[in-house]
Amino acid sequence: MSESEVRAAVERELPGVRADLERLVRIPGIAFDGFDHSHVERSAEAVAELLRGCGLDVRIVRSGGQPAVIGRKAAPPGAPTVLLYAHHDVQPVGDLTLWESDPFEPVERDGRLYGRGAADDKAGIMAHVAALRAYGDALPVGVVLFIEGEEEYGSDSLERLLAEHRDEIASDVIVIADSANWDIGVPALTTSLRGIVNCFVEVRTLDHAVHSGMYGGAVPDALTALARLLATLHTDAGDVAVDGLAAREGASVDYPQERFRAEAGLAEGVSLIGTGRITDRLWTKPALAVLGIDAPSTAEAPNALVPAARAKLSVRLAPGDDPKRAYAALRAHLEKHAPWGARVTVVFEHDGAPCVIDASGPMFDAARSAFRTAWDGTDPVDLGIGGSIPFIATFQEMFPRAAILVTGVEDPHARAHGPNESLHLGEFARVCLAEALLLKNVAEVGVDGR
How far apart CA 48 and CA 174 sit, in angstroms, is 20
Question: Please, are residues 125 and 175 in contact by the beta-carbon 8 Å criterion?
Answer: no
Angle between helices 425-445 and 3-25 (to 10 degrees): 130
Give the residue numbers marked as catalytic: 89, 151
Q: What is the 3-class SS of the chain, one letter each residue?
A: CCHHHHHHHHHHHHHHHHHHHHHHHCCCCECCCCCCCHHHHHHHHHHHHHHHHCCCEEEEECCCCCCEEEEEECCCCCCCEEEEEEECCECCCCCHHHCCCCCCCCEEECCEEECCCCCCCHHHHHHHHHHHHHHHHHCCCEEEEEEECCHHHCCCCHHHHHHHCHHHHCCCEEEEEEEECCECCECEEEEEECEEEEEEEEEECCCCCEEHHHHECCECCHHHHHHHHHHCCECCCCCECCCCCCCCCCCCCCCCHHHHHHHHCCCCCCCCCCCCCHHHHHHCCCEEEEEEEECCCCCCCCCEECCEEEEEEEEEECCCCCHHHHHHHHHHHHHHCCHHHCEEEEEEEEEECCEECCCCCHHHHHHHHHHHHHCCCCCCEEEEECCCCCHHHHHHHHCCCCEEEEEEEECCCCCCCCCCCEEEHHHHHHHHHHHHHHHHHHHHHCHHHC
Buried b (16+ CB within 10 A) or exposed e, 267-276: eeeeeeebee
3-state helix, strand, coil split of the chain in percent (to 5) is: 35, 25, 40
Question: Radius of gyration (Cα) for the chain, nearest Å?
Answer: 23
